[in-house]
Each structure stands twice: as structure tokens, then as C-alpha cells.
Amino acid sequence: MPVIGVLTLEVHIEDSHSLKDKRHVVKGLKDRLRHRFNVSVAEIGGQDTWQRSVVAAVTVSGDRTYAEQVLQAVESDAANFLGGALVDSGVEWID
């Protein structure tokens, strides 16, 4: 049975003064995570605000341990990319 892991990242982009500024940061994050970790990534919240975004990264695997490792690596890379802009994160599992 496959395991689905969903990593949710809450981002606060303090230097953003427009939706265009925010989109630039969010798009960079999404592209980076897709390319480096082969995960599905989407902005799932805060689309109409200038400084807040909620981004989800999803992985599917037959091995929960592997999926946990992937999402931990994604979270670590996102934290390095965003610095202090990463406000919160959490993982949910669908078994």
C-alpha cells in the first residue's frame, strides 16, 4: 500500500511589497523543490496576500521511511532557501 506524505510550509516574506514580489520567491521555492527532490509542490494558501504563503510538497512512496527522509530533506532545503521567512512547517500522512 502506498504512503502519501504532505509537508506544509508556512512562509512570511517580509520584504515583499506586491504579489509580484511574493510570486518571485514562491515560484523560486517551488521550482527548486520540484527539481531537487522530484516532489509535487503547490501554493495552497495566502494567494491573495503580499507577504504570506502556504506551500505544500507531496511525495508518494511504497516505503514510509524513504518518504520521511525525502520530506525531511525538502524541509531542510526550504529552510536554507527561505531563511527566517519559514514560519512553520508540518507533515501529515495518508496511509
Q: What is the pLDDT along the chain (95 residues), one digit of tens a residue?
A: 899 999 999 999 999 999 999 999 999 999 999 999 999 999 999 999 999 999 999 999 999 999 999 999 999 999 999 999 999 999 999 97
Q: What pLDDT shows up at residue 14?
A: 93
Three-state DSSP class for residue 19: helix
The pLDDT score that the predictor gives to residue 60 is: 97
pLDDT of residue 1: 86
Q: What is the pLDDT of residue 80?
A: 97
Cell of 34: 520540484
The CATH H-level superfamily of 3-86 is TT1725-like (3.30.70.1120)
State the sign of the Cα–Cα–Cα–Cα dihedral 48, 53, 58, 64. Answer: negative
Q: Which residue has the cell 509535487?
A: 40
CA distance 72 to 53: 20
- Give the domain ranges of the chain: 3-86
